[in-house]
């Protein structure tokens, strides 16, 4: 499998997380900064780079959680959502533009965007997610990509680097996203709608209610568009059902007694309801 590496366009936007100097690829093995201390970051065998500051503890999704997400999304249950997001990026991003997926997870949505011809950079605080995202991109034949371990609150890019920032079911760091966006650039936030996974919730809980809205939505950017993506899926196996459950916040909040109700279910129909909100960074 070919290792995915950052091309010159993406390299030109990368900054050292320690000293803030420009990063460049050396012999397809490492990223070096041009500062006096020449900080070095090795490219992994799959192609991702760890750009978290030294001494930072591992965070984000565990290896098992990433594996569950990879299995479930790999069966394209959410293909409608991925295509809707890619269509939105295509509508608002100039041809050949640069897109940062902030909180990219295992790269399912990142790859859908990259396949439209955009230069894509996926950032996730989980090294397991960054590794899976790089492997997915390579297996998909994507040529213009970059994947790194990093925080959405401190992205390893210079100011005004990106045409679009995508934020899918991840913390929305508005100030940081505005910093890396060009003037007029777009922030595309994807989050759960009112009816999202109601079928799953009804299978687990005796009493359910609609999902609340997000509390961390941008306040200083102009809302351009907001649209609902609603469709039905039928989860075809117990393994897929447990993988879906593991992807949700309910996995950590549900009692053992309620979680075990899924053992008696082999197939499940549920609504998928996502909201795609597009914001614009206005001239400063």
Residue 196, Cβ neighbours under 10 Å: how many? 20
Q: What is the 3-state secondary structure (H, E, C) of the chain?
A: CCCCCCCHHHHCCEECCCCCCEEEEECCCEEEECCCCCCEEEECCCCCEECCCCCCCCCCCCHHHHHHHHHHHCCCCCHHHHHHHHHHHHHHCCCCCEEEEECCCCCHHHHHHHCCCCEEEEEECCHHHHHHHHHHHHHCCCCCEEEEECECCECCECCCCEEEEEEECCCCCHHHHHHHEEEEEEEEEEEECCCCCHHHHHHHCCCCCCCCCCCCCCCCCEEEEEEEEEEEEEECCHHHHHHHHHHCCHHHHCCHHHHHHHHHCCCEEEEEEEEEEEEECCCC
In a 10 Å sphere around its CB, with 0-12 CB exposed, 13-18 middle and 19+ buried, how is residue 225 labelled? middle
Q: Taking the mean position of all CA atoms in its chain, how far away is CA 144?
A: 16
Task: Return the domain boundaries, the chain.
Answer: 8-53+60-280
Kindly give the confidence (pLDDT) of every residue in the chain, 284 residues in length, as a single tens digit, with 9 standing for 90 and above: 556 666 677 878 999 999 999 998 887 789 999 988 999 999 999 999 999 987 776 778 899 999 999 999 999 999 999 999 999 999 999 999 999 999 999 999 999 999 999 999 999 999 999 999 999 999 988 877 899 999 999 999 999 999 999 999 999 999 999 999 999 999 999 999 999 999 999 999 988 888 888 888 999 999 999 999 999 999 999 999 999 999 998 888 888 888 889 999 999 999 999 999 999 998 76
In a 10 Å sphere around its CB, with 0-12 CB exposed, 13-18 middle and 19+ buried, how is residue 41 labelled? buried
State which fold the 8-53+60-280 domain adopts: Rossmann fold (3.40.50)
């Amino acid at each position: 499998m070919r290792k995915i590496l950052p091309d010159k366009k993406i390299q030109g936007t990368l900054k050292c997380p320690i000293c803030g100097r420009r990063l460049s690829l050396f012999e397809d093995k490492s990223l070096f900064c041009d500062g006096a201390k020449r900080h070095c970051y090795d490219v992994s065998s799959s192609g991702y780079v760890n750009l978290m500051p030294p001494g930072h503890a591992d965070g984000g999704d565990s290896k098992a959680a990433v594996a569950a997400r990879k299995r479930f999304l790999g069966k394209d249950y959410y293909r409608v959502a991925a295509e809707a997001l890619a269509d939105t990026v295509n509508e608002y991003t100039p041809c050949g533009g640069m897109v940062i997926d902030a909180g990219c997870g295992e790269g399912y949505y990142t790859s859908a965007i990259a396949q439209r011809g955009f230069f894509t950079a996926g950032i996730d605080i989980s090294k397991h997610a960054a590794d899976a995202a790089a492997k997915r991109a390579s297996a998909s034949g994507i040529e213009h990509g970059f994947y790194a371990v990093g925080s959405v609150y401190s992205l390893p890019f210079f100011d005004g680097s990106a045409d679009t920032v995508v934020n899918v079911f991840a913390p929305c760091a508005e100030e940081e996203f505005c910093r890396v966006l060009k003037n007029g650039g777009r922030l595309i936030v994807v989050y759960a709608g009112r009816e999202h996974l109601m079928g799953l919730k009804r299978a687990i809980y005796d009493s359910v209610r609609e999902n609340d809205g997000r509390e961390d939505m941008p306040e200083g950017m102009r809302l351009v568009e907001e649209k609902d993506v609603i469709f039905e899926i039928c989860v075809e196996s117990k393994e897929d059902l447990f993988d879906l459950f593991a992807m949700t916040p309910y996995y950590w909040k549900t009692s053992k007694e309620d979680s075990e109700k899924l053992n008696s279910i082999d197939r499940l129909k549920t609504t998928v309801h996502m909201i795609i909100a597009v914001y614009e960074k206005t001239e400063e």
